C-alpha cells in the first residue's frame, strides 16, 4: 500500500483546505482522476502532487476507481490551481474542481474511453488559408518585440483599429509553428463567434475549440478533452478558459485585457488576466495582453519595465480617430436639457448622417425604458420590495423589473398607493431612447442592441450582420456595442449621458468610463475613406473635466499618468493592494457587527504591525438585495506579500468566528476587488 494525496471538492467554509490522504494499491501519478470515499459518499478526486503527512496510526480509506483512460493533469496545471487557491484564499479542492468540466467528474472509465474515441472526429475546418495582409510597420515592430523568450509578458497598447487582431494571429501562427498550443481570451462570450470565424479562416488546417459558459456540458467536455490531449491547437474562450489544461502551451493572448469581465464575481473571485500572467511564467509561455485602454495595473507594470510595452498608435490604412466634440448641456435650453436626452446639436448631427447614408452609434449604458416610474400625485416610486433599488420600467412587455433580484411585475394601471392613473417614467434607458430617435428622425432605420434584445441565441449575430450590411441607420446600445466590433460604416458615435461615473464613490469608475468612451470612439471612422468626417459627440454638464480633455486628445498616456499619480497620492491600486471583506445578513446591523468582530480579530493578530490597514465596515451601495442586507470592509496594504500573509492568518479565524454570529447568512473575501 502507498499513501496518496487527493483533493476533493470542498466548500469554502469546510475545514478541509488542502489534500486528504488515501491508500492506493500502486503509486498513482499526480493529476490522475480517482473516485474516493468521503463520509458516506463516493466523490471525484484529483491525485495531488503534495499533501499533508497522514497521522501515524490513523487508518486510511482506499482509493476507488482510477480513470486510467485520462492522461493525468499536468504538473503545471496543479501548480496554477494551487497558486489560485492560495492567492484568492479558497480551498484547493474547490478551485480544482470548478476548473474541470462537470461531466468529466461524473464519468466512469469506460464512458470516458468512448468520449475520447469520438474526439478523433474533431477535425480542422479545412479549405485554403487566405493571402496574408502585408503588415504595417507598427505591426511588424510589435511582432519583432515578441521574441518568444520563455515567460515574456508584453502589453500591446494599440489604438482602436490599429490591427491588434492581426498581431494576435501572427503570434499564434508562430507558436503553432513551434509545435506549441495557443490560448486566446476575450472578455465577452458575444465576441467569441466572430473571433472563431477569424481564426478558423486563418488556420484552416488546425483544430480550434472554444471554452465559455454558452456551451452544453457535452460540448464543454469535448472541447476541454481536445485541449487536454493536445489535439486542439488553439483554445478560444472567456475567463474560464484560463484554467484549460494544455500540455504544450506556448502563448496566451488576453484581448481587451482591461475588461472587468476577466474578474470572476463569485466563488474564487479570480482575475483571468492575472492568472494568465502567472501561468505564462509557470509554463514558459509568452503572454500578450492587448488593449487600446490598458488597465492601470498592466500599464504600471509596463512603465516599470516588468512587461514589455509595444505601441501601435496608428490606425491601419490611413484611418484617423474621430474628432471628439462636447455638447455643453448647461447651454442647451433648460426644458430641452431636462426633458430630452437628445440635444439639438446631436439631433442635427444624426439627421445629417441619415441624409448622407452613414451610420450612427448612440451609446447609453442603461437598459429598459426608464429607470423608475413615479406617481405625479403622491410620492410613490417603483421601488423593489426586496432590494434597496428602483425597479426598471420595460415597455415592451409592460413590466417593472428589478435588475438586482429579478423581481418582475406587470406595470400597475394606477398608482398602487393613491390610485392616481397618472404614473410617469422618469429618466431614460435604451428602449426609450430608441423610441425617441424613431420619432425625431422620421424615415431613419433605428435599431437597438442590449442584453434585452439579445437574449435568444443567434439574435446578436443577426443584429450585427444587419448593421454591417448597412440595413441600420442609427444603432442604439449599451456598452455591448461599444467594444470589439469592426463597424465599417459608422461616422458618428454619441454618448448621451456619461457624466454619472465622474462622481462615483468607486475610485475605478473614471478609469472604466474613459475606457468605455475610448472604445466607443473607436467604432467610428474605421474606414479610411470616411475617417476624416468622423465625430464623437459627448453630451455633458462638465465639459472641462480632465477626463474629457484626455478623451478629446485621444490621449491614453496622459490619462494614465494623471490617474496613476492620483492613485499614488491616495494610496490606491496599483500603488497599494486591496481585499474586500463582504458580509450578508438578515439585518444591516448584523452584517456590520460581524465585520466589526472580524476587525477586532485582525487587531488581535497584529494587522497594523504587519502593515495592513482595515477600514470601518460600511453598507454596500445597493445595501439590500433579495431581502439580504450587505456590508463590506476594505483591507489595504502597500505590500502584496504582507497582505497575503495577513489574510492567510486571518481568514481561518473568520471561519471560526462565523459560528458566533447566527444572523450572518454568508461572507466572502474578494482579493484585488474591481468594484468598490
Ligand atoms: N496589415 C493589415 N493590412 C490591411 N488591413 C489590416 C491589417 N491589419 C489589420 N487590418 C484590418 O484593419 C481593421 C482593424 O483591425 P482590428 O479589428 O484588428 O483592430 P483592433 O486593433 O483589434 O481594433 P479594436 O481595438 O477596435 O478592436 C480590420 O478590418 C482588419 O482586417
Ligand atoms: Zn429586487
Q: Are residues 340 and 410 in the same domain?
A: no
445-465, pLDDT tens digit by residue? 999 999 888 888 888 888 999
Residue 110 counted as domain residue? no
Output the CA 139–ligand 1 centroid distance in Å: 10
Q: Is residue 207's pLDDT more than 90? A: yes
Q: What is the mean pLDDT of the chain?
A: 92
Can you tell me the distance from the alpha carbon of 145 to that of 130, in angstroms, rounded to the nearest whole number?
A: 25
Q: Are residues 44 and 161 in the same domain?
A: no
Residue 405 counted as domain residue? yes
Question: Are the C-beta atoms of 227 and 300 separated by less than 8 Å?
Answer: no
Alpha carbon nearest to ligand 1 atom 1, residue: 135
Q: Are residues 351 and 381 in the same domain?
A: no
pLDDT of 150 reads: 73
Can you tell me the distance from the alpha carbon of 617 to that of 624, in angstroms, rounded to the nearest whole number?
A: 15
Query: In this predicted model, which residue has the larger pLDDT, 333 or 178?
Result: 178
DSSP structure string for 110-176: HHHHHHHHHGGG-----S-PPPPPPPPHHHHHHHHH----TT-EEEEEE-TTS-HHHHHHHHHHHHH
Question: Are the C-beta atoms of 47 and 19 separated by less than 8 Å?
Answer: no
Q: Where residue 40 sits, what CATH number does that domain have?
A: 3.40.1440.60
| CA dist list (Å): 431 to 349, 423, 435, 456, 459 | 21, 18, 6, 18, 17
Can you tell me the distance from the alpha carbon of 410 to that of 415, in angstroms, rounded to the nearest whole number?
A: 13
Mean pLDDT of 337-363: 89
Q: At CA 31, angle to CA 28 and CA 33, rounded to 5?
A: 75
Alpha carbon nearest to ligand 1 atom 8, residue: 163
Residue 106 counted as domain residue? no
Q: Is 293 in the pocket of ligand 1 (CB under 6 A)?
A: no
ipTM here: 0.97
Q: Is 294 in the pocket of ligand 1 (CB under 6 A)?
A: no
Q: Is 133 in the pocket of ligand 1 (CB under 6 A)?
A: yes
Residue 504 counted as domain residue? yes
pLDDT of 39 reads: 86
Q: Is 164 in the pocket of ligand 1 (CB under 6 A)?
A: yes
Q: Which atom of ligand 1 is nearest to the CA of 488?
A: 29
Any idea what DSSP says for residue 587? S
**Grid coordinates standing for 405?**
433580484
Can you tell me the distance from the alpha carbon of 25 to that of 2, in angstroms, rounded to the nearest whole number?
A: 6
Q: Is 162 in the pocket of ligand 1 (CB under 6 A)?
A: yes
| CA dist list (Å): 345 to 351, 442, 537 | 10, 17, 9
248-268, pLDDT tens digit by residue? 999 999 999 999 999 999 889
Residue 43 counted as domain residue? yes
pLDDT of 108 reads: 85
Last residue in a domain, options 427, 443, 473? 427
Helix or strand or coil: residue 12? coil
DSSP structure string for 607-620: TTTTTEEEPPPEEE
Residue of 29, 5, 31 whose CA lies nearest to 19: 5
* Percent above pLDDT 70 for the chain: 98
pTM > 0.90: yes
Output the CA 460–ligand 1 centroid distance in Å: 21
Can you tell me the distance from the alpha carbon of 377 to that of 580, in angstroms, rounded to the nearest whole number?
A: 43
Output the CA 383–ligand 2 centroid distance in Å: 8
Helix or strand or coil: residue 45? strand
Alpha carbon nearest to ligand 1 atom 11, residue: 163
Q: Which ligand is nearest to the CA of 521?
A: 1
Q: Which residues make beta-bridge pairs with 494?
A: 362, 537
pLDDT of 149 reads: 77
211-232, pLDDT tens digit by residue? 999 899 999 999 999 999 999 9
Q: Is residue 13's pLDDT more than 70? A: no
Can you tell me the distance from the alpha carbon of 36 to that of 23, in angstroms, rounded to the nearest whole number?
A: 10
- Residue ranges making up the domain that contains 396: 370-427
Question: Are the C-beta atoms of 2 and 23 separated by less than 8 Å?
Answer: yes
Q: Where residue 342 sits, what CATH number does that domain have?
A: 3.40.50.300
Alpha helices (runs of H) in 284-427, residue ranges in sequence order = 296-303, 334-339, 344-356
Output the CA 166–ligand 1 centroid distance in Å: 6
Q: Are residues 75 and 196 in the same domain?
A: no
Known binding-site residue numbers = 375, 378, 384, 387, 402, 405, 415, 418
Q: Are residues 218 and 346 in the same domain?
A: no
Residue 16 binned pLDDT confidence (cut-offs 50, 70, 90): low
Question: Are the C-beta atoms of 109 and 123 separated by less than 8 Å?
Answer: no
Q: Are residues 363 and 374 in the same domain?
A: no
Q: Are residues 518 and 651 in the same domain?
A: no
Output the CA 371–ligand 2 centroid distance in Å: 13
Residue 600 counted as domain residue? yes
Q: Is residue 313's pLDDT more than 90? A: yes
pLDDT of 14 reads: 61
Mean pLDDT of 458-481: 91
Mean pLDDT of 397-403: 94
Domain count, the chain: 5
Residue of 502, 503, 505, 483 whose CA lies nearest to 493: 483
Q: Which ligand is nearest to the CA of 132?
A: 1
| CA dist list (Å): 51 to 22, 83, 230, 249, 499 | 10, 15, 28, 26, 53
Q: Which residues make beta-bridge pairs with 585?
A: 629, 664
Q: Are residues 145 and 294 in the same domain?
A: yes
Mean pLDDT of 184-208: 90
Last residue in a domain, options 566, 592, 610? 566
Report the residue among 131, 166, 319 best suited for mutation to probe ligand 1: largest number of ligand atoms under 8 A from its CB.
166
DSSP structure string for 432-476: HHHHHHHHHSTT--EEEESTTTT-STTHHHHHHHHHHTT--SEEE
123-153, pLDDT tens digit by residue? 888 888 889 999 999 999 999 999 887 789 9
Q: Are residues 621 and 587 in the same domain?
A: yes
Q: Are residues 482 and 462 in the same domain?
A: yes
Last residue in a domain, options 279, 300, 317? 317
| CA dist list (Å): 676 to 195, 509, 524, 622 | 32, 9, 32, 11
Output the CA 628–ligand 2 centroid distance in Å: 10
Q: Which atom of ligand 1 is nearest to the CA of 256?
A: 25
Known binding-site residue numbers for Zn(2+) = 375, 378, 384, 387, 402, 405, 415, 418
Helix or strand or coil: residue 340? coil
639-674, pLDDT tens digit by residue? 999 999 999 999 989 988 888 888 899 999 999 999
Ramachandran sector of residue 470 (left: φ over 0; alpha: ψ -120 to 50; beta: rest): left
- Which residues are placed with Cβ below 5 angstroms of ligand 2, an ion? 384, 386-387, 402, 404-405, 407
Q: Are residues 143 and 192 in the same domain?
A: yes
pLDDT of 487 reads: 87
pLDDT of 15 reads: 61
415-435, pLDDT tens digit by residue? 999 999 999 999 889 999 999
pLDDT of 53 reads: 82
pLDDT of 340 reads: 63
pLDDT of 339 reads: 64
Residue 120 counted as domain residue? no
Q: Is residue 437's pLDDT more than 90? A: yes
CA dihedral (464, 465, 469, 473) positive or negative: negative
Q: Which ligand is nearest to the CA of 387?
A: 2
Q: Is residue 4's pLDDT more than 70? A: yes
Q: Is 319 in the pocket of ligand 1 (CB under 6 A)?
A: no
pLDDT of 528 reads: 75
* Percent above pLDDT 90 for the chain: 76
Q: Which ligand is nearest to the CA of 257?
A: 1
Output the CA 538–ligand 2 centroid distance in Å: 32
Residue 114 counted as domain residue? no
Q: Are residues 476 and 550 in the same domain?
A: yes
φ, ψ of residue 369 in degrees (nearest 5)? -85, -50
Question: Are the C-beta atoms of 234 and 196 separated by less than 8 Å?
Answer: no
Report the residue among 133, 136, 141, 163 best suited for mutation to probe ligand 1: largest number of ligand atoms under 8 A from its CB.
163
Output the CA 405–ligand 2 centroid distance in Å: 4
Query: In this predicted model, which residue has the larger pLDDT, 76 or 527?
Result: 76
pLDDT of 210 reads: 94
Amino acid at each position: 500500500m502507498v499513501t496518496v494525496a487527493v483533493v476533493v471538492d470542498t466548500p469554502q467554509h469546510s475545514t478541509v483546505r488542502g489534500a486528504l490522504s488515501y491508500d492506493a494499491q500502486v503509486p498513482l501519478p499526480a493529476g490522475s482522476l480517482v473516485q474516493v470515499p468521503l463520509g458516506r459518499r463516493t466523490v471525484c478526486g484529483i491525485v495531488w502532487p503534495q499533501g499533508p503527512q497522514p497521522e501515524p496510526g490513523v487508518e486510511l480509506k482506499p482509493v476507488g476507481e482510477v480513470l486510467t483512460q485520462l492522461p493525468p493533469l499536468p504538473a503545471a496545471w496543479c501548480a496554477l490551481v494551487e497558486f489560485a487557491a492560495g492567492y484568492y484564499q479558497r480551498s484547493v479542492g474547490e478551485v480544482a474542481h470548478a476548473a474541470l468540466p462537470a461531466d468529466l467528474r461524473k464519468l466512469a472509465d469506460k464512458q470516458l474511453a468512448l468520449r475520447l474515441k469520438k474526439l478523433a472526429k474533431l477535425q480542422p475546418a479545412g479549405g485554403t488559408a487566405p493571402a496574408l495582409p502585408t503588415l504595417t510597420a507598427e505591426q511588424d515592430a510589435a511582432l519583432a518585440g515578441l521574441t518568444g523568450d520563455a515567460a515574456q509578458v508584453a502589453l500591446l497598447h494599440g489604438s482602436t483599429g490599429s490591427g491588434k487582431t492581426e498581431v494576435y494571429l501572427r503570434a499564434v501562427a508562430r507558436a503553432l509553428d513551434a509545435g506549441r498550443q495557443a490560448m486566446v481570451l476575450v472578455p465577452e462570450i458575444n465576441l467569441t463567434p466572430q473571433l472563431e470565424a477569424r481564426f478558423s479562416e486563418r488556420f484552416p488546417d488546425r483544430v480550434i475549440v472554444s471554452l465559455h459558459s454558452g456551451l452544453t456540458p457535452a460540448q464543454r467536455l469535448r472541447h476541454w478533452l481536445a485541449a487536454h490531449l493536445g489535439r486542439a491547437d488553439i483554445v478560444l474562450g472567456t475567463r474560464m478558459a484560463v484554467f484549460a489544461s494544455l500540455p504544450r502551451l506556448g502563448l496566451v493572448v488576453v484581448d481587451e485585457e482591461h475588461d472587468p469581465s476577466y474578474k470572476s464575481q463569485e466563488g474564487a473571485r479570480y482575475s483571468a488576466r492575472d492568472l494568465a500572467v502567472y501561468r505564462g511564467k509557470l509554463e514558459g509561455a509568452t503572454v500578450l495582453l492587448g488593449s487600446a485602454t490598458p488597465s492601470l495595473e498592466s500599464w504600471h507594470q509596463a512603465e516599470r519595465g516588468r512587461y514589455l510595452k509595444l505601441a501601435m498608435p496608428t490606425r491601419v490604412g490611413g484611418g484617423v480617430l474621430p474628432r471628439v466634440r462636447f455638447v455643453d448641456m448647461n447651454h442647451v435650453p433648460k426644458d430641452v436639457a431636462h426633458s430630452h436626452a437628445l440635444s439639438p446639436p446631436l439631433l442635427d448631427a444624426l439627421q445629417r448622417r441619415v441624409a448622407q447614408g452613414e451610420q450612427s452609434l448612440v451609446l447609453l449604458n442603461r437598459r429598459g425604458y426608464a429607470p423608475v416610474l413615479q406617481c405625479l400625485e403622491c410620492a410613490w416610486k417603483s421601488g423593489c420590495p426586496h432590494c434597496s433599488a428602483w425597479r426598471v420600467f420595460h415597455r415592451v412587455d409592460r413590466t417593472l423589473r428589478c435588475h438586482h433580484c429579478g423581481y418582475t411585475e406587470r406595470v400597475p394601471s394606477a398608482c398602487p398607493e393613491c390610485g392616481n392613473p397618472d404614473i410617469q417614467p422618469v429618466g431614460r434607458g435604451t428602449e426609450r431612447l430608441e423610441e425617441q430617435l424613431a420619432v425625431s428622425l422620421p424615415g431613419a432605420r433605428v435599431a437597438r442592441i442590449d442584453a434585452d434584445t439579445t437574449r435568444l441565441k443567434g439574435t446578436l449575430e443577426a443584429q450585427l450582420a444587419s448593421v454591417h450590411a448597412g440595413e441600420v441607420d442609427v444603432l442604439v446600445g449599451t456598452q455591448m456595442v461599444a467594444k470589439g466590433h469592426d463597424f465599417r460604416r459608422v461616422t458618428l458615435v454619441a454618448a448621451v449621458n456619461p457624466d454619472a461615473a465622474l462622481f462615483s464613490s468607486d475610485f475605478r469608475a473614471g478609469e472604466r468610463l474613459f475606457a468605455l468612451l475610448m472604445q466607443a470612439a473607436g467604432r467610428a471612422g474605421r474606414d479610411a475613406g470616411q475617417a476624416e468626417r468622423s465625430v464623437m459627440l459627448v453630451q455633458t454638464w462638465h465639459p472641462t473635466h480632465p477626463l474629457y480633455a484626455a478623451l478629446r486628445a485621444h490621449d491614453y498616456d496622459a490619462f494614465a499618468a494623471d490617474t496613476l499619480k492620483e492613485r499614488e497620492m491616495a494610496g490606491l491600486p496599483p500603488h497599494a493592494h486591496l481585499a474586500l471583506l463582504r458580509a450578508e445578513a438578515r439585518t444591516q446591523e448584523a452584517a456590520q457587527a460581524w465585520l466589526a468582530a472580524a476587525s477586532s480579530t485582525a487587531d488581535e493578530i497584529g494587522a497594523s504591525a504587519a502593515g495592513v490597514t482595515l477600514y470601518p465596515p460600511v453598507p454596500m451601495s445597493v445595501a439590500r438585495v433579495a431581502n439580504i442586507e450587505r456590508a463590506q470592509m476594505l483591507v489595504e496594504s502597500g505590500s502584496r506579500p504582507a497582505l497575503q500573509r495577513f489574510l492567510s492568518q486571518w481568514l481561518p479565524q473568520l471561519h471560526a468566528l462565523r459560528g458566533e454570529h447566527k444572523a450572518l447568512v454568508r461572507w466572502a473575501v474578494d482579493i484585488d476587488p474591481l468594484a468598490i
